[in-house]
Copies of this chain bind each other. A is one copy, B any other.
Amino acid sequence: MQVRNIDAVPSQPVDMPGSSGCRVQWLLGEKDGAPNFAMRRFEVAPGGHTPRHHHPYEHEVYVLAGEGEVIEGETPHRIAAGDVILVKPDEVHQFRNIGPSPLRFLCLIPNDAASKSVTVVPECGIESHG
């Protein structure tokens, strides 16, 4: 068993092209002995966003705090604390902070994601609600 607080986990900037104002903490993963999937915690600054991208594996997301949008293809959905999102494999998606405070969410992926490619695609031109 491992028990730790999020404050003990280093936060790293997300440096993928198309990312802005995003940091990630790897809370649990393969190197901790997690057999199947990894838990990460993202923090997106006001006005920031993840890349618009797709990949052949899923995300399971739980929104902890803040106000944002998840873009499904070209369709935005408003999200806030207590919202749950399943991004299925190969779906084009992006998370955007449209509120005044950090957007925080958990995002879990299968361990074999590390061996799969990620494709960043151009912004879709949706006007943000922010």
Contacts and interface: CB of A to CB of B under 8 A. Distances in A.
B110 A35 contact: yes
A34 interface: yes
A2 B70 CA distance: 10
A103 interface: no
A14 interface: no
Interface in A79-112: 79, 82-89, 91, 93, 106, 108, 110
Interface residues of A, number: 39
B36 A85 contact: no
Interface in A36-53: 36-37, 39
19 contacts: A1-B88, A1-B93, A3-B84, A4-B84, A6-B82, A6-B83, A7-B82, A28-B60, A33-B88, A34-B58, A34-B60, A35-B88, A36-B110, A39-B60, A39-B108, A62-B106, A64-B64, A106-B106, A108-B108
B36 A6 contact: no
A83 B101 CA distance: 22
A1 B91 contact: yes
B37 A37 contact: yes
